[in-house]
Chain A
Amino acid sequence: MDWTFIQKYWPDYLEAAGLTLRIGIAGILCAVLVGIFCSAVLYFKVPVLRRIVAVYIELSRNTPLLVQLFFLYFGLPKIGIRLEAGTCGIIGLTFLGGSYMTEAFRSSLEAVETIQFESAQSLGMTGVQTLRFVVLPQALATSVPAVVANIIFLLKETSVFSGIALADLMYVAKDLIGLYYQTGEALLMLVAAYLIILLPISIIGTILERKVRYAGFGN
């Protein structure tokens, strides 16, 4: 193992990790917003919109992120829409993550039992009050494990960004291997970088799950 190589090039990884995180976090936040909106559409069975959302979910979940990115980065310019690689990354991640977040929120909303609505309503709560004080707190708690899993999944998916020439972690590793043939060192730093980013999220997620687990216990 060539430690001087690692010493020399780890700052490249740091920079790439910054890019991965910036695009990753922006994409995940947008995905959460899309997820909240779409799950509300499905949950309240909004006419017309629910069909569009259903099509979106199938399209988004059944195509690989790399293909979606190619479409945005290489396809759209053909019809005159030119987007920066970073913007494509965020849009692609939002498009993919949105459907996963939708399913996470929708299933947790549906997991709240009917009796919870009825008992809230029998206490004279309006629909909005029932949602705000009774349904949403329970649904959010239930959704924590799925949402954390989605966040980790999406951050890992950023590794295909190198396909549209974004200098993310994967890109830097491939670049170094190509230039110096130091495969072992380059890949070791790549694995370490992903672990350093993802392990804390995983751990925080577990702690969060434990804090909100009352919802899983029923009453």
Chain B
Amino acid sequence: MSDIVLEVKDLVKEFDGETILNGIDLQIEKGEVVVVLGPSGCGKSTLLRCMNGLEEVRSGQILLDGEPVEKGARNIYKIRQRIGMVFQSYDLFPHKTILDNITLAPIKVQKRNKADAEREAKELLERVNLAEKADAYPRQLSGGQKQRVAIVRALCMHPEIMLFDEVTAALDPEMVREVLDVILELANQGLTMVIVTHEMSFARAVADRVIFIDDGKIVEENSPEQFFTSPKTDRAKAFLNTFEFEPARHKEAEFSI
């Protein structure tokens, strides 16, 4: 009997009369890393935001350990404490130091002891190699450093599941690596995660399961090995082909002269 942490049931999301998500069913087991892939505008980020109760849905349900995750519900604040989320844009609080960014919610929301929260925050910062930045302000950090802090900030709440929404999309290639390494380490430690990304080699390395979404529907669900080597659907094949490049024509022309 598997242990379902998060369950999405027949989720339909509309925005301005357009259907963004059209009947998504998904179950995420404890310790599982699910990577969500798909073309831009397919609804994968929206799906992730729905999972954290940030979007109103038309119909369907999202359950965290059997409890509904619903925007505007009375207990949504309690539920969100158990779901960690990291966004694409750097979302640290600019008026607080790195340490305060991390400990704000544990102290004010979870009412934890300040010293304990700070000790844990420092340990986590140590793990992502940012211990010396504890007293710095977000503006003094690089994009990759900020994203690592954002991950630590979410982790410090001890979430049951982490959601990553294209966390490296706005970063330079070298910074992408340092952020993805942190996520990979978390995966190895058995944290349950849902990751939306455009980094294909990372997706392949980190995923236990790949979900491919197009036009608001799950088109393919597969193991990473199968998905990247022999996808079942033509749509997924076409999508993966866009990451391959033919040699440019002007080079061929040069060689032929």
Contact = CB atoms under 8 A, between A and B. Distances in A.
Nearest to B85: A122
Nearest to B90: A219
A123 B153 contact: yes
A118 interface: yes
Interface string A109-144: 000000110111111111001000110011001000
B152 interface: no
Interface stretch (A3-11, A16-24, A179-187, A210-218): A210-218
Contact of A218 (B52, B94, B154): B94
B186 interface: no
21 contacts: A115-B89, A115-B91, A116-B93, A118-B91, A119-B92, A119-B93, A120-B93, A121-B77, A121-B80, A122-B80, A122-B83, A122-B84, A123-B105, A125-B105, A129-B108, A138-B93, A138-B95, A215-B94, A217-B94, A218-B94, A219-B90
Given A214-B137, A219-B138, A123 B154 contact: yes
Interface in B62-119: 77-78, 80-85, 87, 89-95, 104-105, 108-110
A120 B95 CA distance: 13
* Chain A contact residues, majority secondary structure: helix
B21 interface: no
Contacts of A125: 77, 105, 108-109
A219 B153 CA distance: 15
A219 B139 contact: yes
Given A121-B54, A122-B54, A215 B95 contact: yes
A219 B140 CA distance: 8
B170 to A, nearest CB: 12
B157 interface: yes
Interface residues of B, number: 31
B94 A124 contact: no
A119 B85 CA distance: 8
A136 to B, nearest CB: 10
Contact of B78 (A124, A134, A219): A124
Interface in B19-58: 52, 54
A155 B89 CA distance: 42
B124 to A, nearest CB: 15
A124 B153 CA distance: 12
Given A116-B93, A133-B104, A219-B92, A123 B109 contact: yes
Contacts of B13: none
Interface in B147-168: 150, 153-154, 157
B105 A118 contact: no
A115 B170 CA distance: 15
Nearest to B137: A214
A115 B80 CA distance: 16
A124 B93 contact: no
A214 B139 contact: yes
B146 interface: yes
Q: Ordered nearest first, which 4 A-B pairs have the shortest CB separation?
A: A124-B81, A219-B138, A219-B94, A119-B91
Interface centre among A115, A138, A217, A219 (most CB of B within 10 A): A219
A56 to B, nearest CB: 31
Contacts of A124: 77-78, 80-82, 105, 109-110, 157
Contact of B87 (A119, A215, A217, A218): A119
Interface centre among A116, A124, A138, A214 (most CB of B within 10 A): A124
Contacts of A116: 91, 93
Given A124-B110, A133-B104, A215-B94, 13 more contacts: A116-B93, A118-B54, A119-B85, A119-B87, A122-B80, A122-B84, A122-B85, A122-B87, A124-B78, A125-B77, A126-B77, A129-B108, A138-B95
A120 B137 CA distance: 17
Interface in A44-66: none
